Amino acid sequence: MHPAFSVIFLTTLIGVGQGLFLALYTGQLYSVINVLPVQDSPGFYGYGSLLALAFLIGGLISSVFHLGRPERAWRSAAQWKTSWLSREVIALPAFMGTTFIYAMIHIYGWNPVLFTISENYNVDLSLVVGAVNVVLAFTLFICTAMIYACIKFLQEWATPLTVINYTLLGLASGFALSAAFASYVGSDLVNFYAGTTIFFTVSAFITRIASLIRNTKIKYKSNLSTAIGIRHTVIKQKAQGAMGGSFNTREYFHGAKPIFFKSIKWVFLVLVFVLPILLLSSAIATNMFILFAIAFAVQYLGLIAERWFFFAQANHPQNLYYQTI
């Protein structure tokens, strides 16, 4: 498939926003049950959530460039009963709105205690709103990934690993940003966030490698015979049937040179997984903000390459007919 950078930025930016919010809420929840220290500044969760919202808005803006008629974008939610894209269109604004409410609760202190559990744990408004938003965050992960995983004839995508990888990579990048944010504001949660980032990065590395191995062993259901409707044991295609290019040859094939396609896989493996782990390990040892920031930046650049490869690797069956140009 031909990767569209508007979709690449959409999926990676909202993944960072989702992961960052989940990191912030995890820190708050753990502090309530006395696993992590309570943050003295109420703005830590509030301004962190606004940072997550900025990434979500950036992803939403980038998606507009993929639309032929942006003014009709609202109609894409109409098929929510059958379309994962429609469900994503609903889940994304809902998640953004709840993230904004969560941020305002913390920034302005609109956070009354709603009830107490076992006389030890106070459940306030932000915890309830945050819990709802956690459900929306994972719903959005599933909706975004299932847009591609549900397409059965694109066998590289049609696997549960697509959903797992989208989720884990979003969590890894979001927690990486949370570590940089915690370091910048001087929070004592920085080591927790950095360590969790390494955990999610290693987990994502395992599942992404699994998907790469799986995709090299795919037995395609379509072949040249089924593509052109001729049942014969020996078929040689000499031309694509047209003198020039077309929508099919432009939009269903990445068009990159073979050496670039092969090398970008190793580029994203290093940028997304190897370098961030090394940088975060050094950052934990030295407690230097710049290392946390570089770790996030490097990983995000790698995610752009990873998502390009994800789209480009999908081999549309129609390419069997248009393979000779």
For the chain, give the mean pLDDT: 91
Residues in the chain: 325
d(CA 185, CA 24): 13
The CATH number that applies at residue 190 is 1.20.1630.10
Q: Within 10 A of 217 (CB to CB), how many other CB atoms are there? A: 6
Query: Looking at residues 244-260, what average pLDDT do you find?
Result: 81
Asked, for residue 325, whether it belongs to a domain, the answer is: no
What is the crossing angle of helices 275-286 and 289-313, to 10°? 170
pLDDT for 323 beyond 60:
yes
Contact criterion met (CB below 8 Å) for 307 and 279: no
What pLDDT digit, counting tens, does each position of 113-136 carry?
888 887 778 888 999 999 999 999
Asked, for residue 291, whether it belongs to a domain, the answer is: yes
The position carrying tokens 């559990």 is: 117
What pLDDT digit, counting tens, does each position of 32-85 carry?
888 888 887 778 999 999 999 999 999 999 988 877 777 777 777 888 889 999
Residue range of the domain that includes 89: 5-320
Task: Tell me the torsion sign for CA atoms 78, 79, 84, 87.
Answer: positive
d(CA 144, CA 139): 9
What pLDDT digit, counting tens, does each position of 1-12 carry?
788 899 999 999
Residue of 142, 176, 192, 188 whose CA lies nearest to 296: 176
pLDDT for 28 beyond 60:
yes
What pLDDT, on the 0 to 100 scale, is given for residue 123?
Answer: 86
Asked, for residue 238, whether it belongs to a domain, the answer is: yes
Asked, for residue 147, whether it belongs to a domain, the answer is: yes
Lowest average pLDDT, out of 37-41, 48-52, 201-205, 318-322, goes to 318-322
Class of residue 237 by CB neighbours under 10 A (exposed 0-12, middle 13-18, buried 19+):
middle
16: left (phi over 0), alpha (psi -120 to 50) or beta: alpha
d(CA 151, CA 145): 11
What pLDDT, on the 0 to 100 scale, is given for residue 324?
Answer: 54
What pLDDT, on the 0 to 100 scale, is given for residue 213?
Answer: 96
d(CA 104, CA 108): 6
Say how many domains are in the chain.
Answer: 1
- At residue 270, the 3 state secondary structure works out as helix
